[in-house]
């Protein structure tokens, strides 16, 4: 259907998500009968090869295990800023040369930064793979950072912040909800950074960041497409393998959350808003931080509670009661540390926001108290299995699933065994995570309200 | 956060798939060439098929000519409301029964309207194709348009309309469309207005469906694990019993009204700028000359002139690009960017300087050679990166009447363009005085440090 409450969903999409994935999805074997292979280079760089011989195309990605949640205090935005700086001149290539090389062969390239990782990618014909590796290996260590380059590019990321956040009330609220949900964990800080800290980022910060994190022993290479593992290995050794290993990095231990024991609300009233909306979040385990099966159960819980038009929230609030234009739930499991579980809704017609929130709360309480039916559970599992088959249709989906998993503490086996683990989840386990984590008195709620409306 | 993403400020102009490569997409895979079969069913339904068994799925996409330009005056939003109702009851299945069946079968169905067409698509598992196609048949041929789902979807659309009423970007899109299209149907909102959607009845929907869902305006593409013989049966099943002829109101061609200023003044930290220049028809002899010129000016790479002057050299914007927009009845070249409000006047000046220089001098031989290589190579990556993307591309090729062998011919078209032709296209398109829209504080009346 065409109607999508984008103005509402925008509030929920993490700024860092650039590929739409509801969680890791995987085919048992990639298309073209290729078997996923992984190995280490001598300098510590991890490599994953995902053969897919349907087309003479290859997706080449370098994932660094460094994201905004690893930034030094007071330097928010440096991870994303550095992503931009990686496109500047090196000792071997002038600024723009890499981009031109990619576009000259009709390829595409870009990069993205999240809380836990930064990734650089190119999609090209297989014969250009070595050239891409050579460029990536070069910029891993040979960037030339001048004050002029820093100043101009810093202006670019400030404009990016204005575009994504400051011009947009939903995004402003979202940012401050995160900063309220997370009391200690660095996920409280926006990936793009706080404006006043971004403005001060300088060459010293950038150089220190580069020297510490941009090393082969902190990187994962993902190559998906029309290639063979042996050939990839030979090329990787010839290019990335020549880059010196950096000092061993300490484990990624971040400040952890204190006990969640309050109910917090964040309210933004803005003249641009005509339809109020809310989102409510909890701190929950991720695939990396959770105990066995918890994240799988949370994935299924999110699907059953609010994953789509067949979900409880949509059916109850939008279809049966007719009080909401939209309502749903969301869980992002691929994170290094604990993550968030979100429910949301917006009223329609004469309904009040408070009615929508009360109805959402009621569904949350009901699922925590009474659990899910075996039929709901099976259907949710079927949808996941289906999404894995559909995911095989896009090479970059596969590359992103492996890259994000490996950059958040997982391994190739975790990805491959994921469907079986989803299949094993019981109704009791889904009920247990709902009861354990979705406690209304320990939640953080964001309200986006019209200017004229008083607070909740 | 990406190094280059799409700009939040959306064009109020439908961007067609093949109009231009207008942004850098996340990494994708693609089939570099596809073998397309032309399939004709016994009842005379035509489709293009790419048979591929590497993933056990099938994607179908189709379009009926017409779209929201066919909304009757006073009933704006009719096509849009209709597309929200195809999974809300069909044949003997009511809304809930239909959705449960669709979920059980594991098929994803969607319908959407654009200005010049009503599109439908389905992605299904090959092993459940018979049930999936049967549900799609019901949706296409026997939508129920029951009152309860009509009221529910209408209420959702109404919420969306209300949500935009105080939003400067939405206000700007409306104002812009009215300014450049005047009384033409392209000036109207696809979603309709509070007043217009309130008047829509089940009979309006049935009449619209009957007039638009007919075989004379149908284009179909299918990709995946299905052979031509099986597809023929499915085509008859889906479309064979539809009326022969569409009943469409004629829509006039229009030249967008340029040489005007549209302003939506609002105290925003960042000002959005949009400029419209004349476009070029998709079937015009100088289309590829214009497409190459646009790519060099501000197309989908990190190497365009606008990207270089506005972003790389001066840090004035995160996003700046130009796109050639092709619709059935209007064409334009659109440039968009956004910048800190106190620098908006400066940025606009630089954009106009870059355009002026391109109009006067055209590109260099080196730029043209590099861009030809890019446009030839990038086609597959940008348009053929999944079964659904291929199906969508093949439908647009049919809509644009480019021929089943277009992909083989395209390279020669691009390589055949001369520097003089590109210079001529630049002069023709970019010498015009553009329509300019500013969304943000009034130009020149801002003093902020960030």
Which pLDDT tens digit goes with each residue over B392-408? 999 999 999 999 999 99
CA A195 to each of CA A210, B35, B318, B386, B417: distance values in angstroms, whole numbers, following the listed order: 21, 51, 15, 38, 47
Partner-chain contact B270 A166, CB within 8 Å: yes
pLDDT at B444: 76
Confidence of residue B446 (pLDDT cuts 50, 70, 90): low
Strands A46-51 and A219-225: parallel
Residues of A in contact with B158 (CB under 8 A): 348-349
N- to C-terminal Cα distance for chain B? Answer: 20
Q: List chain A residues with CB under 8 Å of B165.
A: 274
Mean pLDDT in residue range B334-354: 98
Which pLDDT does position B337 carry in this prediction? 98
CB–CB of B29 and A83 under 8 A?
no
Nearest CA of chain B to the CA of A250: how many Å? 26
Considering only CB atoms, B373 lies closest to which of A1, A105, A326, namely A105
Q: According to the model, what pLDDT value does residue B141 have? A: 98
CB contact under 8 A, A2 and B56: no
Q: Do A152 and B84 touch (CB under 8 A)?
A: no
Q: What is the pLDDT of residue B447?
A: 53
Task: Name the nearest CA neighbour of B146 among B211, B213, B205.
Answer: B205
Which pLDDT does position A180 carry in this prediction?
Answer: 98
Residues B64, B116: contact at Cβ < 8 Å?
no
Residue written as tokens 């609220």? A173
d(CA A345, CA B448): 36
CA-CA distance, B163 to B160, in Å (whole number)? 5
As averages over each run of 10 residues, the pLDDT of chain A (456 residues) reads 27 29 36 77 98 89 98 97 97 96 93 97 95 98 97 98 97 98 97 98 97 98 95 98 96 94 97 98 98 96 96 98 97 97 97 98 98 97 89 89 96 92 97 98 98 60
Q: Is A52 in Cβ contact with B319 (below 8 Å)?
A: no
Phi, psi (deg, nearest 5) at residue B120:
-135, 150
Q: In Å, how far is A259's CA from the nearest CA of chain B?
A: 30
Q: Which residues of A190-220 are buried (b: 16+ CB within 10 A; e: fewer)?
A: bbbbbbebbbebeeebbeebbeebbbbbbbb
CA B435 to chain centre: 21
Contact (CB<8Å) B316/A80: no
Assess whether pLDDT exceeds 50 at residue B13: no
Give backbone dihedrals phi and psi of A73, rounded to 5 degrees, phi first. Answer: -55, 140
Question: Helices in B240-384 by DSSP H: which ranges?
Answer: 287-298, 305-306, 344-361, 365-383
pLDDT higher than threshold 80 for residue B12:
no
Given a cut of 90, whether residue B3 has pLDDT beyond it is no
Fold of B261-439: Cytochrome Bc1 Complex; Chain A, domain 1 (3.30.830)
CB pairs under 8 A between A and B: 263
> Could you name the CATH architecture of B4-239?
2-Layer Sandwich (3.30)
* Cβ <8 Å between B2 and A346: no
Range of weakest confidence among A86-90, B246-250, B297-301? B297-301
Q: CA of A136, closest CA in chain B: separation in Å?
A: 15
| Structure tokens belonging to residue A220 | 């994962």
Inter-residue contact A430 to A376 (CB < 8 Å): no
**Coil vs helix vs strand at A237:** helix
Statement: residue B32 has pLDDT above 80: no
In chain A, which residues have their Cβ closer than 8 Å to the Cβ of B30?
55, 57, 123
Nearest beta carbon to residue A106 from set B28, B316, B373: B373
The conformation of residue B92, written as its DSSP 8-state character, comes to: T
Instruction: Find the closest chain A residue to B26 by CA distance.
Output: A110
pTM above 0.75? yes
DSSP string, B239-279: HTTS-SS-------------S-EEEEE---SEEEEEEEEE-
Side-chain-side CA neighbours of A338 within 13 Å: the count stands at 22
Q: Which two tokens stand for residue B87?
A: 């999974």
In chain A, the residue whose alpha carbon lies closest to the alpha carbon of B191 is A3
Q: B54 contacts in A (CB within 8 Å)?
A: 31-32, 54
Q: Say whether B378 and A383 touch across the interface (CB within 8 A).
A: no
Task: Give B391→chain A minimum CA distance, Å.
Answer: 13
Contacts of A326 in chain B (CB under 8 A): 156
Helix (H, G, I), strand (E, B) or coil at A249: coil
Contacting residues of B for A377, CB less than 8 Å apart: none
pLDDT surpasses 50 at B15: no
Q: Report residue B327: phi and psi, to 5°.
A: -120, 170
The segment(s) of chain B belonging to CATH 3.30.830.10 are 4-239, 261-439
Which of the residue ranges A361-375, B27-41, B161-175, B272-286 would you say has the lowest mean pLDDT? B27-41
* Nearest chain B residue (CA) to A225: B29
First to last CA, chain A: 32
Please tell me which residue in A71, A83, A170, A294 is annotated as part of the active site: A83
Query: How near does any CA of chain B get to the CA of A37, in Å?
Result: 19
The verdict on whether A294 is a catalytic residue reads no
Q: Among A95, A207, A76, A48, which residue's Cα sits nearest to residue A141?
A: A207
Q: Hey, are the CB atoms on A57 and B374 less than 8 Å from each other? A: no
C-beta separation of B283 from B401 below 8 A = yes
The count of C-alpha atoms lying within 13 angstroms of the C-alpha of B340, restricted to the half-sphere facing its C-beta, is 16
| Of A430, A72, A116, residue with least CA distance to A284 | A430
Which member of A16, A271, A275 has the closest CB to residue B163? A275
Q: Decide: helix, strand or coil at residue B65.
A: strand
Residue B209, classed as helix, strand or coil, is helix
Nearest to A163 among B24, B87, B318 (CB): B318
Backbone angles phi, psi at A353, to 5 degrees: -55, -40
Interface touch B381/A392, C-beta < 8 Å:
no
Instruction: Confirm if A397 and B25 have CB atoms less than 8 A apart.
Output: no
């Amino acid at each position: 259907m065409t109607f999508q409450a984008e103005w509402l969903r925008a509030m929920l999409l993490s700024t860092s998500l650039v590929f739409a994935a509801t969680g890791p999805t995987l085919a048992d074997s990639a298309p073209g009968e290729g078997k996923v292979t992984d190995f280490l280079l001598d300098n510590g760089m991890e490599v994953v090869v995902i053969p897919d011989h349907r087309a003479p195309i290859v997706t080449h990605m370098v994932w660094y295990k460094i994201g905004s949640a690893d930034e030094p205090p007071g330097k928010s935005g440096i991870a994303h800023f550095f992503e931009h700086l990686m496109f500047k001149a090196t000792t071997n290539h002038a600024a723009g040369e890499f981009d031109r090389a990619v576009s000259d062969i009709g390829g595409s390239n870009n990069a993205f930064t999240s809380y836990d990782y930064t990734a650089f990618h190119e999609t090209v014909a297989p014969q250009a793979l070595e050239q891409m590796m050579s460029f990536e290996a070069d910029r891993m260590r040979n960037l030339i950072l001048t004050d002029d380059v820093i100043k101009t590019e810093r202006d670019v990321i400030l404009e990016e912040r204005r575009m994504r956040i400051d011009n947009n009330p939903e995004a402003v609220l979202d940012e401050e909800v995160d900063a309220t949900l997370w009391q200690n964990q660095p996920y409280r800080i926006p990936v793009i950074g706080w404006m006043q800290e971004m403005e001060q980022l300088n060459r010293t910060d950038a150089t220190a960041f580069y020297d510490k994190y941009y090393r082969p022993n902190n990187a994962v290479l993902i190559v998906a497409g029309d290639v063979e593992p042996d050939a990839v290995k030979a090329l990787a050794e010839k290019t990335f393998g020549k880059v010196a290993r950096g000092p061993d990095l300490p484990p990624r231990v971040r400040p952890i959350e204190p006990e969640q024991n309050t109910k917090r609300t964040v309210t933004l009233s803005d003249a641009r808003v005509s339809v109020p909306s809310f989102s409510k979040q909890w701190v929950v385990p991720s695939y990396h931080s959770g105990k066995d099966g918890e994240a799988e159960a949370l994935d299924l819980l999110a699907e059953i509670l609010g994953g789509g038009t067949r979900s409880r929230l949509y059916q109850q609030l939008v279809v049966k009661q007719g009080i909401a234009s939209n309502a749903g739930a969301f869980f992002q499991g691929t994170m290094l540390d604990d993550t968030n579980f979100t429910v949301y809704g917006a009223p329609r017609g004469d309904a009040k926001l408070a009615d929508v929130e009360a109805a959402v709360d009621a569904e949350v309480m009901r699922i925590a108290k009474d659990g899910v039916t075996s039929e709901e559970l099976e259907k949710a599992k079927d949808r996941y299995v289906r999404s894995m088959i559909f995911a095989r249709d896009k090479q970059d989906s596969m590359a992103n699933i492996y890259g994000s998993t490996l950059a958040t503490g997982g391994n190739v086996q975790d990805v491959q065994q994921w469907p079986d683990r989803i299949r094993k989840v019981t109704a009791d386990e889904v009920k247990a995570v709902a009861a354990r984590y979705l406690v209304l008195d320990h939640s953080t709620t964001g309200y986006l309200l019209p200017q004229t409306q008083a607070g909740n | 956060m990406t190094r280059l993403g799409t700009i939040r400020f959306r064009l109020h102009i439908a961007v067609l798939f093949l109009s231009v490569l207008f942004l850098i997409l996340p990494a994708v895979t693609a089939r570099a060439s596809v073998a397309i079969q032309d399939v004709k069913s016994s009842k005379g339904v035509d489709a293009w098929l790419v048979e591929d068994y590497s993933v056990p799925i099938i994607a179908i996409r189709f379009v009926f000519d017409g779209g929201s330009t066919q909304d009757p005056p006073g009933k704006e939003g009719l096509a849009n409301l209709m597309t929200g109702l195809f999974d809300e009851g069909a044949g003997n299945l009511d809304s809930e029964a239909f959705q449960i069946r669709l979920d059980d079968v594991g098929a994803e169905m969607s319908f959407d309207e654009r200005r010049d067409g009503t599109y439908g698509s389905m992605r299904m598992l090959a092993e459940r194709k018979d049930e999936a196609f049967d549900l799609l048949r019901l949706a296409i041929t026997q939508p129920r348009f029951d009152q309860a789902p009509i009221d529910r979807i209408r209420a959702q659309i109404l919420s969306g309309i209300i949500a935009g009423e105080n939003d400067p970007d939405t206000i700007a899109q409306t104002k812009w469309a009215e300014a450049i299209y005047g009384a033409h149907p392209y000036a109207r909102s696809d979603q309709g207005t509070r007043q217009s959607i309130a008047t829509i009845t089940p009979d309006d929907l049935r009449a619209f469906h009957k007039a638009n869902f007919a075989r004379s305006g149908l284009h179909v593409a299918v990709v995946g694990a299905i052979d031509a013989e099986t597809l023929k049966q499915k085509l008859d099943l889906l479309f064979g019993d539809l009326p022969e002829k569409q009943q469409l109101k004629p829509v006039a061609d229009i030249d967008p009204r340029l040489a005007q200023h549209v302003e939506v003044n609002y105290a925003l930290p960042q000002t959005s700028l949009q400029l419209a220049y004349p476009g070029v028809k998709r079937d015009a002899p100088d289309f590829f000359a214009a497409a190459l010129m646009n790519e060099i000016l501000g197309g989908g790479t990190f190497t365009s002139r606008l990207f270089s002057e506005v972003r790389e050299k001066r840090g004035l914007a995160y996003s700046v690009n130009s796109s050639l927009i092709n619709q059935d009845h209007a064409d334009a070249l659109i440039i968009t960017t956004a910048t800190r409000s106190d620098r908006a006047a400066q940025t606009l000046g630089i954009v106009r300087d870059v355009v002026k220089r391109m109009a006067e001098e055209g590109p260099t031989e080196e730029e043209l050679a590099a861009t030809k290589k890019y446009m030839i190579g990038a086609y597959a990556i940008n348009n053929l990166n999944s079964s659904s993307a291929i199906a969508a591309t093949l439908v647009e090729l049919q809509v644009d009447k480019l021929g089943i062998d277009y992909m083989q011919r395209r390279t020669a078209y691009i390589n055949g363009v001369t520097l003089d032709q590109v210079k001529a296209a630049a002069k023709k398109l970019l010498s015009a005085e553009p329509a300019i829209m500013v969304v943000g504080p009034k130009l020149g009346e801002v003093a902020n440090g960030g």
